[in-house]
Amino acid sequence: MTMDKKGKVFLVGAGPGDIGLMTIKGLKCLKRADVVVYDYHLNAQVLNYIKKDAESIYAGKRGGHHTMSQEEINAILVDRAKKGLMVCRLKGGDPFVFGRGGEEACALADEGLEFEVVPGVSSSVAAPAYAGIPLTHRKISSSFAVIPGYEDTTKEGSSIAWEKLATGVGTLVFLMAVKNVDVLTEKLISNGKPPETPVAVVRWGTRPEQRTIISTLGEIAGVVRENEIRPPAVMVIGAVVKLREKLKWYENKPLFGQRVLLTREHSTGFEKLEDMGAEVMEFPTFEIVPPKSWQQLDDSMGGLGSYDWIIFTSAKGVKFFFERLKALGMDIRLLGGAKICAIGPKTAEAVESFCLKVDLVPEEFRAEGLIKSFSELNAGGKDLKGVRFLLPRAQEAREIFPEKVREMGGHIDVPPVYQAIMPEAHGKRLKRILKEGKITVATFTSGATFTNFLEMMGEEAKELLKGVAIAVIGPVTAKKVKEAGLSVDIMPKSATMESLEQAIIEWAISKQ
């Protein structure tokens, strides 16, 4: 790093909780940052996008209890920017809506440092929207105000003009108001707001644990206490609250309240869960990287034209295989007349993306299914004598199929094209989420995802899965789970991501 490199701070709003509400620009800043200073009220998945070599600094900011003071946060932003680093100050909601982003920006401006503000979706608009409450409506309310609910309303010289708020604004939105709900409602009523005015309190808006209670201005304080509503919560006051009964779209979704843990990289196959209201939390327990050595694969590629069959077991295997073929300067035509077998439709799609035809997709997507398919194709199931197979696969894999091929007289080469390693990050965050009881379904799509999960969670692993439904993709993974002394709640008949997704949907609906 050169000494004249200029640092820059991005004040980024991460939104209210639903990861889909974070802006594209905010996500780009997060991915590029050398330093990330983040608060408590964030969707933990957002932090998965921090690059591996970035410095992560937890600033706290939870219910009045701060790990770091605002002055300390300002000092860190200034210090890292002066060192020429790109800093992402990641804040819940919007940085300039009661987020002290203005104070941080002033501290940077005072030091002559470059900064940029990336607005986020504020809970003041998002929580009501997810509760089915429009803040404005042409026939009901044409104005709204957002007010901090934590100010001491009894102090002299309050910055809040209560007499104007009570009678001059259509919809009132209070943030962080739960602790002061008694005095806030009393202040509004005493300044002319009718006690029968509709009120909604939305806790954890935009998240699976969202909870909405409805009452009136005169009675909401008691209802909040009765229902033990605690922060974070947004309070909406006004006639627009009456529209909730007709417009509550989020809480009416069939899988609302479900949070599904995905222990593999999220590619495709779970979109329907999200569409139906579940939140899919991605915390991979393994990372796909190149094999320890390319030598075995390179040797096999030297004789590509000699194989009768090339078997791909995953889309990742396809990707690494053809990337290596290209790196060696070899031509796809060297595959010659080899037929191609793909384990599962997604693997077949990956092969076909290279304009290659897939000759066989076994009905059963595991070693036993492969054995059956090739036995039936060759000599009526008697043997595989003279048949040559290339099986590029993971560094660590089951030996059932290769052993059976050799037993039946065939030749098979099994060069590794990738390996699954345990990621260094995310373990602590995943453990915290499980301890808080936020996961309803945990999915394991291979034995490796489960065994790595156990290792990452340590001695607490089994305890953390208590009360969590375990979903597996097939019998091999199910066996690993049962060997660990746990039970399998969900397993599809077909070992595909789509079938697993459908099985989770059916399980969730059956529990309602």
Q: To which H or E segment does residue 216 belong?
A: strand 211-216
Q: Are residues 468 and 487 in the same domain?
A: yes
Report d(CA 383, CA 406) in Å as an integer.
10
479: Cα within 13 Å, side-chain hemisphere: 4
Q: Are residues 326 and 386 in the same domain?
A: yes
Which of 341, 373, 377 minimizes the C-alpha distance to 360? 341
Listed residues 365, 398, 420: the one ending a domain: 420
Active-site residue (options: 176, 456, 457, 491): 176
Cβ count near 467 (within 10 Å):
9
Report in angstroms the alpha-carbon separations of 417 from 71, 296, 308, 391: 51, 9, 19, 10
310: Cα within 13 Å, side-chain hemisphere: 29
Q: Are residues 242 and 130 in the same domain?
A: yes
Whole domain around residue 357: which residue ranges? Answer: 290-420
Instruction: Please give the full DSSP string across 168-207, using - where no structure is assigned.
Output: H-SEEEEES-GGGHHHHHHHHHHTT--TT-EEEEEESTTS
**Contact of 247 with 227, CB cutoff 8 Å:** no
Asked, for residue 171, whether it belongs to a domain, the answer is yes
Asked, for residue 252, whether it belongs to a domain, the answer is no
Q: Are residues 200 and 97 in the same domain?
A: no
Report d(CA 375, CA 368) in Å as an integer.
11
Report d(CA 435, CA 427) in Å as an integer.
12
- The sheet carrying 8-13 orders its strands as 55-60, 35-39, 86-91, 8-13, 114-118
Q: Are residues 297 and 400 in the same domain?
A: yes
**Contact of 10 with 116, CB cutoff 8 Å:** yes
Report d(CA 463, CA 473) in Å as an integer.
22
Find residue 216's DSSP bridge partners: 198
pLDDT at 2: 43
State the amino acid at position 25 in one-letter form: K
Which of 313, 417, 318 minimizes the C-alpha distance to 369? 313
Q: Are residues 265 and 240 in the same domain?
A: no
pLDDT at 154: 52
Kindly tell me the sign of the dihedral angle through the C-alpha atoms of 241, 244, 247, 251.
positive
Burial (CB count within 10 angstroms: exposed 0-12, middle 13-18, buried 19+), residue 299 = exposed
Q: Are residues 25 and 103 in the same domain?
A: yes
Asked, for residue 1, whether it belongs to a domain, the answer is no
**Contact of 297 with 325, CB cutoff 8 Å:** no
Asked, for residue 416, whether it belongs to a domain, the answer is yes
Six-digit token string for 42? 């964030």
Q: Are residues 327 and 415 in the same domain?
A: yes
359: annotated active-site residue: no
330: annotated active-site residue: no
Asked, for residue 253, whether it belongs to a domain, the answer is no
**Contact of 119 with 101, CB cutoff 8 Å:** no
Listed residues 404, 420, 436: the one ending a domain: 420
pLDDT tens for the 512 residues of the chain, in order: 444 578 999 999 999 999 999 999 999 999 999 999 999 888 888 988 999 899 999 997 555 555 789 999 999 999 999 999 999 999 999 999 988 999 999 999 999 999 999 999 999 999 999 999 999 999 999 999 999 987 655 556 677 889 999 999 999 999 998 999 999 999 999 999 999 999 999 999 999 999 999 999 999 999 999 999 999 999 999 999 999 999 999 999 999 999 999 998 765 668 899 999 999 998 888 888 899 999 999 999 999 989 999 999 889 999 999 999 999 999 888 988 899 999 888 899 999 999 999 998 887 656 666 777 776 666 555 677 888 999 999 888 778 888 888 888 889 999 999 988 887 666 788 898 899 898 999 999 888 899 999 999 999 999 999 999 999 998 889 999 999 999 999 999 887 888 899 999 999 999 88
pLDDT at 11: 98
The CATH code of the domain that includes 369 is 3.40.50.10090
Active-site residue (options: 61, 193, 316, 480): 61
Report d(CA 7, CA 121) in Å as an integer.
26
Interior CA angle at 432 toward 233 and 66, to 5°? Answer: 55
Non-local CB neighbours of 153 within 8 Å, separated by 6+ positions = 160, 162, 180, 183, 184, 187
Cβ count near 303 (within 10 Å):
12
**Contact of 165 with 238, CB cutoff 8 Å:** no
Judged by DSSP in three states, 289 sits in strand
Residue ranges of alpha helices (H) inside 408-446 are 427-435
The CATH code of the domain that includes 146 is 3.30.950.10
Active-site residue (options: 39, 91, 235, 497): 39
**Contact of 285 with 49, CB cutoff 8 Å:** no
Six-digit token string for 87? 């800093």
With 0.75 as the threshold, say if the pTM is over it: yes
Asked, for residue 254, whether it belongs to a domain, the answer is no
Asked, for residue 193, whether it belongs to a domain, the answer is yes
Q: Are residues 242 and 342 in the same domain?
A: no
Asked, for residue 276, whether it belongs to a domain, the answer is yes
Q: Are residues 274 and 171 in the same domain?
A: no
Six-digit token string for 159? 């910055």
Listed residues 121, 137, 166: the one ending a domain: 121
Domain total of the chain: 4
Report d(CA 25, CA 33) in Å as an integer.
12
The CATH code of the domain that includes 80 is 3.40.1010.10
Q: Are residues 352 and 402 in the same domain?
A: yes
Q: Are residues 26 and 99 in the same domain?
A: yes
Beta strand 198-203 pairing with 393-394:
unpaired
253: annotated active-site residue: no
